[in-house]
Amino acid sequence: MIGFEIAALLPVLKPSTRRRGGGFIGGIIRWFIMVAIYDICIGALADILGVSRMVACFIFIGILLAISAAGYLLKQRVSPGIDD
């Protein structure tokens, strides 16, 4: 084994690089839980605001973008050189 073959086996050989997602079935279960939570949030927004689910979906995405932008700005203010 030389070069690329060893590099391909490195994730298998090092247990510290393994994901902790529970494998394929765990990933599917995690995905279904996330979809259910997002569906509950979007459905609640649609009921509260009295808009369609499509509009509620866009509002939910906007809220997520605003939260991520605020987190990014806060991170840059607290530690500006961390990404450099």
- Residue 45 CB neighbours (<10 A): 18
Give the range of the structural domain holding residue 69, as residue numbers without chain letter: 22-78
Distance, CA of 60 to CA of 18 (rounded, Å)? 33
Domain assignment of residue 3, yes or no: no
Domain assignment of residue 4, yes or no: no
Considering the entire predicted model, what is its pTM? 0.61
Give the pLDDT band of residue 1 (cuts 50, 70, 90): very low
Domain assignment of residue 39, yes or no: yes
Domain assignment of residue 12, yes or no: no
Q: Where are the alpha helices (DSSP H) in the chain?
A: 4-13, 23-49, 53-78
Domain assignment of residue 10, yes or no: no
Task: Tell me what pLDDT residue 19 has.
Answer: 57
- Which tens digit of pLDDT belongs to each residue from 19-65? 565 788 888 999 999 999 999 999 999 999 999 999 999 999 999 99
Domain assignment of residue 73, yes or no: yes
Domain assignment of residue 65, yes or no: yes
